Amino acid sequence: MALKIHTVATSISNVAVSGVRMRDLTEIPWNLAASNVPIFFPRPNNFITDISIERDSMGTPAQAAKTFFYTLNYVYIYKAVGATRGYSFFQDMVKQVADIWDAIVLNDDMSGPIDINPGSIANFEPIPSPEGEEYWGAHLDFDVKEFIN
């Protein structure tokens, strides 16, 4: 059994979304700046959640077909809170999230037998950065199914 979680994460980071910096597991930002956003990256805390496995056939553990389910959790940061007066940016922020979902779900370059779908989106809200600044953004989840053996 060879899970491809890191391959899925790399495939997600390789999709092109206009105006958004897509980041891989090795590119999670330690600090943010106005020049680094919008950005989309793996959520460092709770990146992989909701793990389960189903056996799909008879056989030894190494030979039986299985389906492995899990959720990958990401952070989307749009812009610093207070960078714009009012909510004139909100429509563009929502559009970028829709573009991210489309780019990932319609990605034919996933390696191996993988099925990925949008999970949930937390509220669009201020998200604190490691240095204490707040940025408008959201947490996005993707439900993944890996078919093994």
Higher pLDDT, 123 or 76: 76
More confident residue, 1 or 37: 37
CA-nearest of 84, 86, 97 to 138 is: 97
Is pLDDT of 72 > 90? yes
User: How distant is the alpha carbon of residue 138 from its chain centre?
Assistant: 11
Residues 23-55 pLDDT 10s? 999 999 888 876 789 999 999 999 999 999 999
Return d(Cα 146, Cα 5) in angstroms, integer.
9
Q: What is the CATH number of domain 5-148?
A: 3.30.2000
pLDDT tens figures, 94-112 = 999 999 999 998 887 776 6
Q: What does the domain layout of the chain look like in residue ranges?
A: 5-148
pLDDT for residue 112: 64
Q: Would you state the structure tokens that stand for residue 73, as one six-digit string?
A: 């959790």
| Predicted structure pTM score | 0.90
Least confident of 9-13, 40-44, 82-86, 136-140: 82-86
